Amino acid sequence: MIASRRIVLGVTGGIAAYKAAALARALVLAGAEVRTVMTDSATRFLGPATLAAITGTRPVVDLFDDPAVSPHTDLAAWADLVVIAPATTATLARLAAGLSSDAVSATVIAFAGPVVLAPAMHTEMWEHPATVRNVATLRDDGYRIVGPAAGPLAGGDVGIGRMAEPDDIVSAIDAALAPGDLEGLRVLVDAGGTREPIDPVRYIGNRSSGKMGNAIARAAARRGAAVTLVTTAEPPDDDRIEVVPVETAQEMAEAMWRRAPEVDVAVLAAAVADFRPARPADRKLRRTDGLEAVPLEPTPDILRGIAEMPERPFLVGFAAQVGDLAGAVDKARSKGVDLLVANDVSKEGSGFGTDTNEVVLVAPDGATETWPLLAKDEVAERLWDRIVALRGEEAPT
């Protein structure tokens, strides 16, 4: 998709700007025509002459000193796609607010096509509430965000905030240039942790926040799918997503089983309780009454139920593990899924309620692929990339 496409590369002022030269080179080698635009602070990390030598055109740096009458609108009218790498905290804030105070943000605001952002900053800046809000706004506005990844940062620090590698950004650009790759598909997602009542007040539950399932549903909707989200958690504020609220494993099973035969892809990201109280009380239990035990019984196996349907959708399951992921491999082999996504919830940054996740993809034959610690939204985008590729391999030739 990149060959012969016109791409504007925007570079902003962070130490990761040095990677922009490698990205520009990779895009040129892929057959793209590349033009560049830089903030003034970016020139302190990467010389404009470097980008000029790689792309064959000088970067736009100053809107007023450039020989063109309106360089930012000229770039916007010319481009098929704009990518900002690195995208600093300040750049994300400007774009989220619709500000155009430098050459890079002015070009993006003037552009109506797909925009890919590759954030790069220290962990504390990435996790700051304002940045979290800005990223959410940008995603809702249709920006495609790749990374950041975890790893070494400036000043010897280590954590999430490292700019995605050029190859990963190229892959994101390739996907963004094929918008609507889920157009026409019907997608079913479940999310959150089920709550199994002990009495009308108390329940057995888990710490699942529903963030991963929400991210998967949002990403599918952005890519053109008709999405139904069955959830126990607070759903995304997205009118493209049909939300089915449930509470218990039984309610979730009935909702999922009823809809699964009608969809093309089902992604089961919810943390469903394996057991429920066998005889929940119909009134609040009092401490003075005493309680010797809470007898438990198994809950429905939602994943297996869909896998055994005669006309089932492409099926993706999730497996929350603690420590060894051998159980996830066994699950992938025994449950009849097309793909299993496993994560160790005991790992820092990969547990319930976090905005990041470190997952391992498990194929039905037990083959595994480990992804680094990523933002959950980025995990969702990569997961849909993989689902699209796998479904394409299954399509008749």
Active site residues: 206
Strand partners, 188: 228, 266
Strand partners, 264: none
User: Taking a C-beta distance cutoff of 8 angstroms, is the pair 192, 203 a contact?
Assistant: no
The CA distances from residue 300 to 161, 180, 239, 253, 254, in Å, are 40, 35, 30, 7, 9
Q: Distance between CA 152 and CA 167 in Å, rounded?
A: 18
Q: Distance between CA 21 and CA 47 in Å, rounded?
A: 10
**Backbone torsions φ then ψ of 361, nearest 5 degrees:** -85, 135
Ordered DSSP codes for 305-325 = HHHTSTTPPEEEEEEEESS--
Name the nearest CA neighbour of 170 among 361, 32, 12: 32
E strand or H helix at 281? none
What 323-326 contacts at long range (C-beta under 8 Å, 24+ apart), as own/partner pairs, is 325/360, 325/362, 325/368
Q: Distance between CA 34 and CA 6 in Å, rounded?
A: 6
Give the distance between the most distant pair of CA atoms in the chain.
Answer: 84
